[in-house]
Homo-oligomer: A and B are copies of this chain.
C-alpha cells in the first residue's frame, strides 16, 4: 500500500466509525466530556485517564474509552489521553470548529437569556437575527441587532444564511412560527415551546423546555424516598 492509500483507508475508517457509533446517547456524553476536559485544561496538567473522566461523571471507564474511540486511537496505554488533543478532536466532531449562524424567534425573557448567554459566542454560535411580533419590541435593539417582525421571517432568513433557528415564543405561536421557518428553508430547529411541532421529516427538531425538566424531577421526588 502506498502512503496515500493508507491515509485514504484511515479516513474511510474514521468516517464509518463516526457514522455507526454516533447515536444520541454518545453525542450527549461527548458534549459533556468536551466541557469537562476544557475545565481540566484550564487548571491542570496535560494528561487524563478514562478512569478520571469516568469518576467525574459517574460513568464507567469502559464507557468513556468506548465513546472516545470514535475519535480514533488517541490514548496512550499506561498513560491516558492528551487533554489538548482530545479537546481538539471533540471540537471537530461536535462542530465546534466553525461558526453557526442562529436566529432567535421570540424576544421574551428566554430569548434574551439565550442571547446574553456568555457560552454561546465561545462555542461558535452567533446570533444573526431576532424576530418577535409584539409591536413594542419590533425595531428595538439587542446589542447592535434590530428585532424584526415575525412577518419578515421568510424574507430575512432566506437571504441571511441562518443555520439554526431557536423558537422561544409562547406555546400557541410555536407551530405557526415553525412552519414559516421551514418555508424559508430552515432545516434545524431548537424548540423551547412546550408543544410537539408537526413538521416535515427532513427537518431536525430538538425539543427542550424549561418545565419538562422540573416535571421530571418532581416525578422522581414523588416516587422514590
Residues from 182 to 220 in A contacting B, C-beta threshold 8 Å: 188, 190, 194-196, 204, 206, 208, 210-220
Q: Are B221 and A163 in contact (CB under 8 A)?
A: yes
A84-120: contact bitstring with B at CB < 8 Å (1 yes, 0 no)?
A: 0000000001111000101000001110111011111
> Looking at the complex, which of A31-39, A74-82, A129-137 is the stretch in contact with chain B?
A31-39
Q: Are B19 and A223 in contact (CB under 8 A)?
A: yes
Which one of B113, B190, B223 lies within 8 Å of A217 (CB-CB)? B190
Measured CA separation A107–B214 after assembly (Å): 18
Q: Are B196 and A220 in contact (CB under 8 A)?
A: no
Output the nearest chain B residue to A112 by Cβ-Cβ distance.
Answer: B109
A44-75: contact bitstring with B at CB < 8 Å (1 yes, 0 no)?
A: 00000000000011000000000000000000
Q: Are B215 and A206 in contact (CB under 8 A)?
A: no
From A109, A188, A213, A219, name the one whose CB has the most chain B CB atoms within 10 angstroms: A219
Measured CA separation A163–B170 after assembly (Å): 27
Measured CA separation A148–B114 after assembly (Å): 24
Measured CA separation A171–B36 after assembly (Å): 12
A79 CB to nearest chain B CB (Å): 24
Kindly state whether residue A123 has any CB partner on chain B within 8 Å. Answer: yes
Q: Are A211 and B117 in contact (CB under 8 A)?
A: yes
Measured CA separation A171–B125 after assembly (Å): 18
Output the nearest chain B residue to A205 by Cβ-Cβ distance.
Answer: B217
Q: Are A194 and B94 in contact (CB under 8 A)?
A: no
> 6 nearest interchain CB pairs?
A109-B113, A95-B222, A95-B218, A110-B113, A94-B219, A109-B112
A interface residues with partner B (beta carbon < 8 Å): 18-19, 22, 24, 27-28, 30-32, 35-36, 39, 56-57, 93-96, 100, 102, 108-110, 112-114, 116-120, 123, 125, 163-164, 166, 170-171, 188, 190, 194-196, 204, 206, 208, 210-223
